Amino acid sequence: MNSGLGDEIVVVGGGVVGLTTAVVLAERGRRVRVWSRDPVEGTTSAVAGALWWPYHIEPVALARAWALRSLDVYEELAARPEETGVRMVEGVLGEADPDAADAWVTDRLPGLRATTAEEYAGTGTWVRLPLIDMPAHLPWLRDRFVAAGGTIEARTVADLAEVDAPVVVNCTGLAARELVPDPSVRPVRGQLVVVENPGIHTFVVSTDADGEMAYFFPQPGRLLLGGTAVEDEWSTEPDPVTAAAIVRRCAALRPEIAGARVLEHRVGLRPARDAVRLEREPLSGGRVLVHNYGHGGAGVTVAWGCAEEAAGLAASP
């Protein structure tokens, strides 16, 4: 491993994008420190439902490439689900016609098909996708990074210019709004209800005629119910009325959900932007700043593809 100060990189941000980027850099032999305000369990990523699927992310062509590279990695990690938190799970993408799916999807996911009437009341696509248990996956990423020689420091950064490294990678998500500053980064509030799993082993993502979203994801020992996507809403306090509506919409899809015992409520703020910012910016004194933020609700979906591109930008002359 390289040991000179000139090789050192600081990744600011300890969510899934920051940790994945740090893993890629460290495993390429770079000296890497992660500066994170919160422990991994306290990041926005820890709240995510975390189904692999490109969700409201631009630019489309690049996002597809990042997502496909990430899919390759998640399929490999799914061979060790207890360790990595990644499993391949079958389920329904509601209001999605497989005959109208883009070739990049059908070529890569050859098993997708139209749902039957018993599987979904309406047009839907049956598909097998990675589902990531974030409370398990994030600590696994952290441990993999440390095993590669990286270090994690609890640091609150007020200004990216204060980071004492020749290369800084900005994976700060929503905090980039103030840190860069980039006012185009905005929150999209998502609320989840976690319940005891009444025996559901497949996922469903659905949107009703009023545009209301409902989804449920089976995770070890629990079922995650969602969801919401409220733009420009900063509150992280669970709303009881919203929670009741989430349960009601999910129970309309699977009635046994109605009686499931609630275990917890979660709220996260997705770091949305019109397009992901993944680019290299020169700083004074020959230093370099690489931006990797603005992934919205698709951070897990594109994490590995974006991490590898960011690592390449960090290594460019």
The DSSP bridge partners found for residue 152 are 34
Residue 303 has a pLDDT of 98
pLDDT of 116 higher than 60: yes
120 annotated to bind ligand: no
Contacts of 85 (CB under 8 A, 6+ apart): 132, 133, 134, 135, 136, 137, 138, 140
Q: Give the position of tokens 């631009």.
A: 58
**Confidence grade of residue 317 (pLDDT, cut at 50, 70, 90):** low
Residue where the block lists tokens 């004492």: 164
Structural domains of the chain, ranges and CATH numbers in brackets: 1-85+133-183+274-317 (3.40.50.720)
Can you tell me whether residue 232 is helix, strand or coil? coil
Whether residue 226 is annotated as binding a ligand: the answer is no
Segment holding 77, helix H or strand E: helix 60-77
- Kindly give, in sequence order, each residue whose CB lies less than 8 Å from that of residue 35, ignoring residues fewer than 6 positions away: 10, 11, 12, 13, 14, 153, 155, 157, 163
Which pLDDT belongs to residue 264? 97
For residue 210, name the pLDDT band (cuts at 50, 70, 90): confident
Give the pLDDT band of residue 1 (cuts 50, 70, 90): very low
- CA 230 to chain CA centroid, nearest Å: 17
Instruction: Look up the pTM and report it.
Output: 0.96
Secondary structure of 17-70 in HEC code, one letter for each residue: HHHHHHHHHHHCCCEEEEEECCCHHHCHHHHCCCECCCCCCCCHHHHHHHHHHH
167 is in an annotated binding site: no
Report the share of the chain in percent with pLDDT over 70.
98
* 193 assigned ligand-binding residue: no
| Annotated binding residue 300 | yes
Residue 200 confidence (pLDDT): 98
Alpha-carbon span 120 to 127, nearest angstrom: 13
Q: Is 215 annotated as a binding residue?
A: yes
Instruction: Give strand ranges (E) for 144-287.
Output: 151-154, 167-170, 186-195, 203-207, 213-219, 222-226, 230-231, 262-272, 277-282
The reply to whether 157 sits in an annotated binding site is yes
The answer to whether residue 296 scores a pLDDT higher than 70 is: yes
Q: Is pLDDT of 5 > 50?
A: no
Give the end-to-end CA distance of the chain in Å, rounded to a whole number.
Answer: 19
Q: Select from 297, 88, 54 the least CA-distant residue to 191.
A: 297
Contact, 9 vs 280, CB < 8 A? no
Closest CA to 291 of 201, 204, 200, 172: 172
Residue 4 has pLDDT above 70, yes or no: no
Confidence of residue 56 (pLDDT cuts 50, 70, 90): confident
pLDDT value of residue 3: 35
Band (pLDDT 50/70/90 cuts) for residue 104 is: confident
Question: What is the structure's pLDDT at 162?
Answer: 85
Per-residue pLDDT for 13 more than 80? Answer: yes
Q: For the chain, what is the mean pLDDT? A: 94
| Mean pLDDT along residues 133-137 | 97
Annotated binding residue at 108? no
pLDDT of residue 110 exceeding 90, the answer is: no
CB contact at 8 A, 78 and 87: yes
Cα separation values, 259 from 43, 55, 195, 244, 250, Å = 30, 30, 9, 12, 11
pLDDT in tens, 231-260: 999 999 999 999 999 999 999 999 999 999
Report residue 121's pLDDT band, with 50, 70 and 90 as the boundaries.
very high
Known binder of ligand: residue 172?
yes
H-only helix segments in 169-298:
176-179, 240-253
Q: Count other Cβ atoms within 10 Å, centred on residue 206.
A: 22
Q: Is the pLDDT of residue 43 over 90?
A: yes
pLDDT recorded at residue 60: 92
